[in-house]
Chains A and B, each alone.
Chain A
């Protein structure tokens, strides 16, 4: 019976981890060493744990700012509509 080329036990709790582990083991994908990353990539990358954390925080911040701006704009529009009808 053909055996899987994937050697290490892959956690089944995340689809992303599954893809990453299969890629690593089948294609030998290696990330760049942390010293080689410069500029913005040094802080926002998907290779170091700090980089991944910063990407997550940046994404959440963008979503939060967008949501706040949208609700404030909606409130301003409602007030403008109320003023124009008065």
Chain B
């Protein structure tokens, strides 16, 4: 069967049985859970240290009411970063390349921040739609612009993650195909291209981690405005 460039983004199935549920729950199986021991093993200790440091850094700008979101934001970060890094393995499906999944994460969480803001502090939430000291003539225009920018936020969140990962995977596949084809035709060029592929893979690992962090950081910023 001839594969196209975009077949790597198709939802995985084996003999007609969809494997998407396994793809989505795999990080849960991989990551160690805390035990009731006083001292865990090295991996669990390292994981706990990372989670505590990350949660502390993420929640520092938030007030006490925002600390309730610690579990949601930290688990979201770990989930996305694990899915992204696992997707870098060859022949592995990356669920975060699907726009449906990323919008499914972005829209409800963004909406929750907006509804929380309107419910708890409606004056501040509505007041943020008009910047301080705006000239009178520009008030209606800026309100409309800020409203549009408010509604574009979840789209931007979802599409940013999808586009970054999809583009990275496509680029890696293209360059890997080029290396494969050039190996028999021009081996020196193939060697240079394989060095480029190695550097690109390292870049994609960084992008995978950074995009997960950016997703969660932006959500915490939206929460900061509304809580």
Contacts and interface: CB of A to CB of B under 8 A. Distances in A.
| Co-complex (A, B) | yes
Interface stretch (A55-63, A67-75, A77-85): A55-63
B225 to A, nearest CB: 7
A16 B149 CA distance: 10
Interface string B207-227: 000000000001001101100
B143 A55 contact: yes
B221 A46 contact: no
B149 A31 contact: no
A9 to B, nearest CB: 9
B116 to A, nearest CB: 16
B166 to A, nearest CB: 24
B208 to A, nearest CB: 22
B60 interface: no
Main secondary structure of the interface of A (DSSP, over half): helix
A52 B130 contact: yes
A52 B146 CA distance: 13
Contact of B221 (A13, A31, A55): A13
Given A11-B221, A15-B149, A52 B140 contact: no
Given A16-B145, A56-B126, A57-B126, A29 B133 contact: yes
B130 A55 contact: yes
A56 B132 contact: no
A53 interface: yes
B133 A59 contact: no
A23 B135 CA distance: 12
A75 to B, nearest CB: 26
B36 interface: no
Contact of B131 (A12, A20, A53, A59): A20
A20 B132 contact: yes
Contacts of B136: 46
B129 interface: yes
B124 interface: yes
Contacts of B143: 55-56, 59-60
Interface in A21-77: 23-24, 29, 31, 46-47, 49-50, 52-53, 55-57, 59-60, 62
Interface in B151-182: 153
A14 interface: yes
B119 to A, nearest CB: 15
6 contacts: A13-B221, A16-B131, A19-B131, A46-B132, A55-B139, A56-B127
Interface of A: 11-17, 19-20, 23-24, 29, 31, 46-47, 49-50, 52-53, 55-57, 59-60, 62
